[in-house]
């Protein structure tokens, strides 16, 4: 009897529980559908609003309306307008200065500062990413402090923001930046720091370091296009270990100055195949010049004097014992017009395949070694 009553009670409990659960799931489903409907409706409304915002921005950019009129007509308290400004910044549809001024005027930066001080790392990283696109650096001390954040993503976002703004503090923090990362991130860090355009004197702490990794980084960062002052410094590293010697040669290639030919001439008989290969590539970069006419996609031919300085170096490398060195030397010669083709022709019987390819490349404009 007791078991029957207990069974009925359990059955009744389960029965009503399932009914209540079904009702609850039905309510949740309805609420979810209404939420989706509201989101779709709001998205359509914003899409219709965007042309209005864009026209106002164009009028302001063209000087048809002033800033006060613009701010008055914009319903900027709408969070979607903030997102729209960020979207425009990413697409480069309007000038950064214009979008930055409006973003600041609407008070969005104040909200961002509060958000960036959150304990949640992703809010800091998202805020720095937004400031990067809008070229905003309102609290530089705070951003600098985040270079030493315990969170990897925050550190990288802060570094990205500071390099975009070419902040002078970077040259004082170089050792600290690398101390937080393994060597696997060096390529990314070097790309970012290269964009920061740290002056040559700001790299002294790296190039004078006893730490091989930091010294190598300093050599890499010395290699900015047109930075001729770096060449005399790079000469001091031509007797370093192989990886650093390779970076010395690469930096000279990126500088693209004929002033670096003396170093390449001294290093052309290096025991390392990698170093000789990089020398051929560096000569290819130095010999590759774009035409002054922007409508002409083919490179311009170097001056006679410059070609005469480069060809003797490539002549030796074109007969190197290693095929990879010869390959790069031949294609570097393809950048030197008629004189380069004449030199390639001299090797046509010995290396017919690569000589033919290099000649064809020469007639089509040469080889852009920056793309390798």
Mean pLDDT, range 179-185, rounded to an integer: 88
Q: Of 72-86, 112-126, 178-192, 227-241, give the lowest mean pLDDT range.
A: 72-86
User: 76-104, pLDDT tens digit by residue?
Assistant: 666 788 888 888 888 887 888 889 988 98
Q: Is 3 exposed, middle or buried (0-12, 13-18, 19+ CB in 10 A)?
A: exposed
Per-residue DSSP letter, 258: G
Contact 152, 137 (CB under 8 A): no
Contact 359, 314 (CB under 8 A): no
**In sequence order, which residues have a C-beta less than 8 Å from that of residue 278 and are 6 or more positions away?**
246, 249, 250, 253
User: 361-372, pLDDT tens digit by residue?
Assistant: 999 888 889 877
Query: Per-residue pLDDT for 328 more than 60?
Result: yes
The pLDDT-based confidence of 293 (bands split at 50, 70, 90) is very low
> CA 207, CA 235: separation in Å to the nearest integer?
12
> CA 144, CA 170: separation in Å to the nearest integer?
9
User: Regarding predicted confidence, which is higher, 357 or 299?
Assistant: 357
Mean pLDDT, range 60-88, rounded to an integer: 82
User: 130-168, pLDDT tens digit by residue?
Assistant: 999 999 988 888 899 998 888 989 999 999 999 999 999
What are 299's strand-pairing partners? 290
Given CA atoms 277, 283, 286, 290 in this order, what sign does their dihedral have?
negative
Q: What mean pLDDT value characterizes the chain?
A: 87
> CA 111, CA 177: separation in Å to the nearest integer?
28
Highest mean pLDDT among 6-10, 59-63, 151-155: 151-155
Return the percentage of the chain with pLDDT > 70, whole number.
91
User: Regarding predicted confidence, which is higher, 322 or 29?
Assistant: 322
| CA geometry: angle 134, 136, 142, nearest 5 deg | 140
Query: Per-residue pLDDT for 200 more than 60?
Result: yes
Q: Please report which residue ranges of 165-259 form alpha helices under DSSP H.
A: 170-179, 186-195, 204-207, 212-221, 230-234, 242-255
pLDDT at 354: 94
């Amino acid at each position: 009897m007791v078991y029957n009553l207990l069974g009925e009670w359990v059955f009744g409990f389960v029965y009503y529980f399932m009914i209540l659960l079904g009702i609850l799931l039905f309510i949740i489903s309805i609420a979810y559908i209404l939420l989706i409907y509201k989101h779709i409706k709001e998205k359509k409304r914003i899409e219709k609003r965007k042309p209005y915002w864009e026209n106002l921005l164009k009028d302001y950019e063209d000087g048809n309306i002033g800033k006060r009129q613009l701010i008055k007509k914009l319903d900027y308290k709408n969070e979607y307008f903030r997102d729209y400004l960020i979207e425009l910044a990413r697409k480069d549809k309007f000038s950064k200065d214009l979008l930055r001024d409006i973003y600041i005027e609407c008070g969005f930066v104040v909200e961002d500062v509060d958000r960036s001080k959150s304990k949640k790392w992703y809010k800091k990283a998202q805020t720095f990413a937004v400031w990067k696109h809008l070229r905003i650096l309102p609290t530089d001390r705070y951003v600098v402090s985040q270079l030493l954040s315990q969170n990897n993503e925050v550190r990288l976002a802060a570094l990205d923001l500071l390099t975009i703004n070419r902040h002078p503090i970077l040259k004082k923090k170089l050792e600290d930046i690398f101390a937080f990362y393994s060597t696997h991130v060096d390529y990314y860090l070097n790309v970012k720091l290269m964009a920061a355009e740290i002056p040559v004197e700001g790299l002294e702490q790296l190039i004078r370091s006893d730490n091989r990794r930091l010294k190598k980084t300093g050599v890499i960062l010395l290699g900015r296009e047109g930075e001729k002052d770096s060449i005399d410094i790079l000469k001091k590293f031509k007797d370093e270990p192989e990886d650093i010697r390779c970076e010395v040669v690469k930096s000279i290639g990126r500088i693209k100055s004929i002033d670096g030919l003396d170093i390449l001439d001294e290093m052309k008989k290096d025991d390392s195949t990698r170093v000789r290969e990089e020398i051929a590539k560096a000569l290819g970069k130095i010999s590759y010049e774009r035409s002054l006419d922007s409508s002409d996609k083919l490179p311009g031919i170097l001056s006679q004097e410059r070609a005469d300085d480069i060809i003797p170096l490539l002549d030796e490398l074109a007969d190197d014992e290693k095929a990879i060195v010869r390959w790069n030397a031949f294609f570097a010669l393809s950048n030197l017009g008629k004189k380069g083709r004449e030199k390639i022709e001299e090797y046509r019987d010995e290396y017919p395949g690569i000589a033919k390819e290099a000649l064809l490349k020469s007639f089509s404009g040469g080889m852009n070694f920056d793309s390798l």
